[in-house]
């Protein structure tokens, strides 16, 4: 079912809210997740195995640790074409990730002190790769390669023991791999068990239980964000291919019934063609979910861009010469794909950008997965001869706040007080 909306001047925020509202809000799983986390906190490996046993075939032993031999075997039997694709994805994601690294830098201030700004990787990072309905080796690539580029020494993956996922772990050089999933896996990675040391950061997509567990444990570990249902906005204008636009929309709709796919244009005839293509293509593509598909007719491309900024889509495609010219003006999107060749699907796999992106409008304030999620900034302070000038400035502030010993600590550095 395709929904058609008209965007009037000044209505961008309201239409964006209406479109977001077409995705039903998920029910709360907070209590269930909290109970799972507490059970792993209290019971460690035993509780974790009990949770995993619910999803294992009857009578099969629950083995948490994946051996190096299992990883090598999975890689050796991997389809050569899949391996070549994963290797290209690994290499491209690594190149883009390393380009985001910052170097230490010194800031010399007027009073004579120097502040060195340093970036340091976390010691241990965890990547969650979902595999409930389908395995996601691409999520292994996006997480492990980016963490390694950031300089993380220990990288662990939690995932179902699907052969293609294990092969991706081997290709990308994961240090440890565990057969586990769900909220219990996030709890084990964050809190640690007898077998699994705790991580400093946990990243990766997953179902609502996984994301809620990340949210509840975000005070204990760093997370990349709350990854909700996927969404795509295509802004198209005269010259865009409606068949390709429809195909790109349907591709993102494969992620599930709660995925949101939207096309906006100032060309009503183009939207008519996209609608016909959606209906024709959707009939014989069984993997496409029945989630909301929305066409928005805008007065002009400036209005379409205003709508995009209000929607803050996870993925934004700009197709057609005039639409592509909007790229420098985009401020709110997880990732922008410019031009007819730039299908969002490339970003999901091999182009080099990361596919773990802010959803549900979080692109207003959040970034896609990058080396920064695995690194932290630290200031290194060298006061030296600036102590006197800084003390004379800082002591009155400390006194005003009622912190007498703060003032004393600074004033003790004034030369004539030594």
Which active-site residues does the annotation give?
A: 314-315
3-class SS letters over the chain: CEEEEEECCCCHHHHHHHHHCCCCCCCCCHHHHHHHHHHHHHHHHHHHHHHHHCCCCCCCCCCCECCHHHHHHHHHCCCHHHHHHHHHHHHHHHHHHHHCCCCCEEEECCCCCEEEEEEEECCEEEEECCCCCCCCHHHHHHHHHHHHHHCCCEEEEEECCCHHHHHHHHHHCCCEEEECCHHHHHHHHHHCCCCCCCCCEEECCCCHHHHHHHHHCCCCCEECCCCCCCEEEEEECCCCCHHHHHHHHHHHHCCCCCCEEEEEECCHHHHHHHHHHHHHHHHCCCCCCCCCEEEEEECCHHHHHHHHHHHCCCEEEEECHHHHCCHHHCCCCCEEEECCCCCHHHHHHCCCCCCCCCCCCHHHCCCCCCHHHHEEEEEEEECHHHHHHHHHHHHHHHHHHCCHHHHHHHHCCCHHHC
């Amino acid at each position: 079912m395709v929904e058609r909306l008209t965007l009037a001047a000044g209505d961008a925020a309201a239409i964006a809210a209406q479109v977001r509202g077409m995705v039903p809000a998920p029910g709360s799983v907070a209590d269930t997740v909290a109970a799972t986390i507490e059970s792993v906190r209290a019971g460690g490996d035993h509780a974790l195995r009990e949770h995993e046993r619910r999803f294992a075939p009857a009578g099969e032993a629950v083995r948490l640790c994946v051996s190096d031999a299992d990883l090598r075997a999975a890689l050796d039997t991997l389809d050569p074409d899949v391996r070549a694709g994963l290797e290209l994805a690994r290499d491209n994601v690594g190149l883009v990730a390393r380009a985001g690294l910052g170097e230490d830098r010194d800031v010399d201030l007027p009073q004579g002190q120097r502040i060195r700004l340093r970036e340091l990787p976390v010691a241990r990072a965890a990547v969650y790769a979902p595999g409930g309905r389908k395995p996601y080796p691409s999520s292994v690539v996006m997480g492990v390669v980016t963490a390694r580029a950031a300089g993380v020494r220990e990288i662990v993956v939690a995932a179902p023991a699907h052969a293609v996922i294990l092969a991706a772990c081997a290709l990308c050089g994961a240090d440890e791999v565990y057969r586990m999933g769900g909220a219990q896996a996030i709890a084990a990675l964050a809190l640690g068990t007898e077998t699994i040391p705790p991580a400093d950061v946990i990243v990766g997509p997953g179902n609502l239980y996984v994301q809620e567990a990340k949210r509840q444990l975000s005070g204990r570990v760093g997370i990349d964000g709350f990854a909700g249902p996927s969404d795509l906005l295509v802004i198209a204008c005269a010259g865009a291919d409606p068949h390709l636009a429809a195909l790109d929309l349907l591709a993102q709709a494969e992620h599930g019934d709660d995925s949101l796919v939207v096309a906006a244009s100032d060309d009503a005839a183009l939207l008519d063609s996209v609608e016909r293509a959606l209906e024709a293509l959707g009939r014989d593509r069984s993997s496409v979910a029945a989630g909301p598909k929305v066409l928005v007719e805008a007065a002009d491309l400036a209005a379409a861009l205003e709508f995009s900024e209000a929607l803050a889509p996870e993925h934004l495609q700009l197709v057609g010469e005039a639409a592509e010219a909007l790229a420098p003006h985009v401020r709110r999107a997880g990732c922008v794909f410019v031009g007819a060749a730039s299908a969002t699907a490339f970003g999901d796999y091999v182009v080099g950008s990361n596919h773990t992106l802010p959803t549900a409008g979080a692109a207003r304030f959040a970034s896609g997965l990058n080396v920064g999620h695995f690194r932290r900034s630290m200031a290194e302070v060298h006061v030296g001869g600036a102590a006197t000038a800084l003390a004379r400035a800082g002591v009155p502030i400390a006194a005003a706040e009622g912190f007498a010993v703060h003032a004393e600590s600074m004033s003790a550095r004034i030369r004539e007080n030594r």
